[in-house]
Chain A
Amino acid sequence: MSEGVENNQELERRLRSVLGAVDPGEGFAPRVMARVAAGAADTARPARAGAVASWLAFGLAASVVLAFLLAHEWQARRLEQGREARRQLIEALRVTDEKLDLAYRAVNTREGGAPPEHSGV
């Protein structure tokens, strides 16, 4: 019985010696803070790189969309200008032909219907 008590005491003593408070020495706190800071930097670097990549992707996508919209706008304007130019061309040719006909009829009336073979030019 007394042997068992002695064993317990021995175990307790060993535990106390192992788990007892140990002086960390001078500079412990600054060392801990330095480690913490270093660890934070290591974890922040990949996060920042990810954010930059995200912004780059967003910027690229926005540029592509903007370029597409500008190209579409330019093409629509060009189409409108082309249609208007075509309309004006046909109108100009119509007016020209109408006035040439007017001259033709006037010459025909004046000369008894005979178109001038030579106008003196």
Chain B
Amino acid sequence: MKASSAKWRWLLVPVGLVASAALAAPAAPLNLPDFDALAAKATESVNISLDTSLLGLAAGFLDPSNPDDAATKELIAGLKGIYVRSYTFDGGFAYPSAQVDQVRKQLAAPGWQRLVQTNSTRDRTRVDIYVSVDRGLANGLAIIASEPRQFTIVNIVGSIDLAKLHRLEGKFGVPKLDLPPESRDGKPGK
């Protein structure tokens, strides 16, 4: 598990996306558009909005004597909000470009920087990862992922240690990916 978390360094190092970001003021949450039309067509929807108070409430229900719960509590300590919209479809779906453009406009504002953009025509998958940076410290994260049968937007407000998040892999139903051993070590796969 320790070795597998190393693969996130490529994401962490460039912006120093570590817990030290607690000094930075948290970014404002993105104004996520209404995806009702998309939800109506989806076979599975995830609509999560956890603001500071709900995160605090959730943290209160994490058992500090349980190592996984304790790790989760530590992970969310610097967070001010987590917002997730994810829709899964049986067949193909129309990419909600208008709504996503609304989100991208917000991410074009000063303070937000695109960290990663992947676009696979073969897999018909596109993932964009943005970070909000304040005085050199990351204080927010946004992910827009479009897959053939799934569309997802994640917005995390506050500082999050992605390595810690990844250490939760395999816990609580966080999927443990069956990556080749060399990939799990963060080394070149080929």
A: residues with CB less than 8 A from B are 81-83, 85-86, 88-110, 112-121
For this complex, 5 residue pairs linking A to B, each with C-beta atoms less than 8 Å apart, are A86-B58, A86-B62, A92-B48, A103-B118, A103-B129
Check B145 against A115 for contact (C-beta < 8 Å): no
Q: Tell me whether B21 is interfacial, beta carbon within 8 Å.
A: no
Residues of B near A110 (CB, < 8 A) are 118, 120
Check B154 against A88 for contact (C-beta < 8 Å): no
A114 to B186, CA, bound (A): 8
Check B116 against A96 for contact (C-beta < 8 Å): no
Known: A81-B57, A103-B116, A114-B188. A92 touches B172 (CB 8 A): no
Our pick among A93, A108, A114 for the contact of B168 (Cβ within 8 Å) is A93
Check A108 against B189 for contact (C-beta < 8 Å): yes
Check A86 against B61 for contact (C-beta < 8 Å): yes
A101 to B183, CA, bound (A): 11
Residues of A near B156 (CB, < 8 A) are 96
Check B58 against A89 for contact (C-beta < 8 Å): yes
Check A102 against B175 for contact (C-beta < 8 Å): no
Check B75 against A93 for contact (C-beta < 8 Å): yes
Check B13 against A117 for contact (C-beta < 8 Å): yes
Check B14 against A100 for contact (C-beta < 8 Å): no
Our pick among B8, B75, B183, B190 for the contact of A100 (Cβ within 8 Å) is B8
Check A102 against B127 for contact (C-beta < 8 Å): yes
Check A106 against B175 for contact (C-beta < 8 Å): no
A95 to B86, CA, bound (A): 8
Check B154 against A82 for contact (C-beta < 8 Å): no
Our pick among B46, B54, B129, B189 for the contact of A91 (Cβ within 8 Å) is B46
| Distance between B24 CB and nearest chain A CB, rounded to angstroms | 15
Q: Tell me whether B50 is interfacial, beta carbon within 8 Å.
A: yes
Chain B residue at minimal CB-CB distance from A96: B154
Chain A residue at minimal CB-CB distance from B187: A113
Q: Tell me whether B101 is interfacial, beta carbon within 8 Å.
A: no
Additional A-B contact list (5), CB under 8 Å, known A82-B60, A90-B72, A100-B162: A85-B58, A89-B72, A95-B86, A96-B165, A97-B165
Chain B residue at minimal CB-CB distance from A106: B118
Interface residues of B in 137-190 (CB under 8 A from A): 143, 145, 147, 152, 154, 156, 162, 165-166, 168-169, 172-175, 177, 179, 182-183, 186-190
